[in-house]
Amino acid sequence: MSITSNADISGMEAVSEAVGITLKKMREYAAPGMSTRELDEYGGRLLSELGARSAPKLTYGFPGWTCISLNNEVAHGIPSEHKILKEGDLINVDVSAELNGYWGDNGGSFVLGEDIHNHNPLVNASKLILQKAINEIRGGVKIADVGDLIERSAKKMGYRVIKNLVGHGIGRSLHEEPKEIPNYYDRRNKNRFHKNSVVAIETFISTKASYAYDMGDGWTLVTNDGSFVAQHEHTIIVTDGKPVILTASNGIWS
């Protein structure tokens, strides 16, 4: 969407605060021995208390309030009472919601407890690359150039990017124009970021794989080689200068 009024700003700030706080509290609440279903139910209660409605459930009938992906799962993981969190797990939580007609989206990967499997370098790379990408976004910048920055930054750090998972426009619905903000350089993409537009920028940084595949349940995406992937995402307003990070309350850079 394009911001056209103070009401738009207030609406986007409110829903972004809701999803950001929910993500942060879910990350803090997660503990070894807990199921991903229990973590998701906690997130669902938080959203409800904040007056927000789960976007994946509302839009797609997703079987959970949030998406929780565990270890080799890349995205859209279905919360389950059979998936039990363990020390050192790589966990990704993606929270998106609607509030008073406005939509916000954010996500983040983290290591649960002690990093016994050495996932933190990957997690930290994803955070850093997202920060670098957002710092380059302003009105007039080519979307392909930001994708190029993400891909080159990942390669310099010894990683790859997942090419079939992308950022997107957001605001009056969960997915809007631009429909695709890739993590790689696509010379065919001539689109540019526009001042006052709202977009969800996300990184998918991989230890080896370049694509994610449906594991067979219609939702959960995994790599086909056992790679691990870290994702981080902010909803932002594009300006002529530094973007406004609407979901800063998630604390993913803290």
How does pLDDT run across 48-88, given as a tens digit for each residue?
A: 999 999 999 999 999 999 999 999 999 999 999 999 999 99
Check whether 8 is labelled as a binding-site residue: no
Residue 107 to residue 227: CA distance in whole angstroms: 19
Output the pLDDT for position 249.
98
Check whether 175 is labelled as a binding-site residue: yes
Burial group, residue 240, by CB count within 10 angstroms (0-12, 13-18, 19+)? exposed
Can you state the percent helix, strand and coil of the chain, rounding each to 5? 30, 30, 40
Indicate whether 42 pLDDT > 90.
yes
Residue 190 to residue 199: CA distance in whole angstroms: 17
Check whether 117 is labelled as a binding-site residue: no
Q: Is the peptide bond before 56 cis (omega within 30 degrees of 0)?
A: no
How does pLDDT run across 22-41, given as a tens digit for each residue?
A: 999 999 999 999 999 999 99
Check whether 217 is labelled as a binding-site residue: no
* Token pair in block for residue 126: 């994803």
138: three-class secondary structure by DSSP: coil
| Residue with the two structure tokens 């002690």 | 114
C-alpha distances in Å from residue 98, one per residue of 20, 44, 74, 230, 239 = 13, 13, 24, 25, 23
For the four alpha carbons of 158, 164, 169 and 175, in that order, the dihedral sign comes to: negative
How does pLDDT run across 110-165, given as a tens digit for each residue?
A: 999 999 999 999 999 999 999 999 999 999 999 999 999 999 999 999 999 999 99
Instruction: Determine how many CB atoms are found less than 10 A away from the CB of residue 116.
Output: 12
Residue 58 to residue 139: CA distance in whole angstroms: 31
How does pLDDT run across 184-203, given as a tens digit for each residue?
A: 999 999 999 999 999 999 99
Sorting pLDDT into bands at 50, 70 and 90, what band is 254?
confident
Report all structural domains of the chain as residue ranges with CATH numbers, in order of start: 6-250 (3.90.230.10)
Check whether 115 is labelled as a binding-site residue: no
* CB-CB contact of 111 with 178 (8 Å): no
* Token pair in block for residue 252: 């993913």
* CB-CB contact of 133 with 146 (8 Å): yes
Mean pLDDT of 164-178: 97
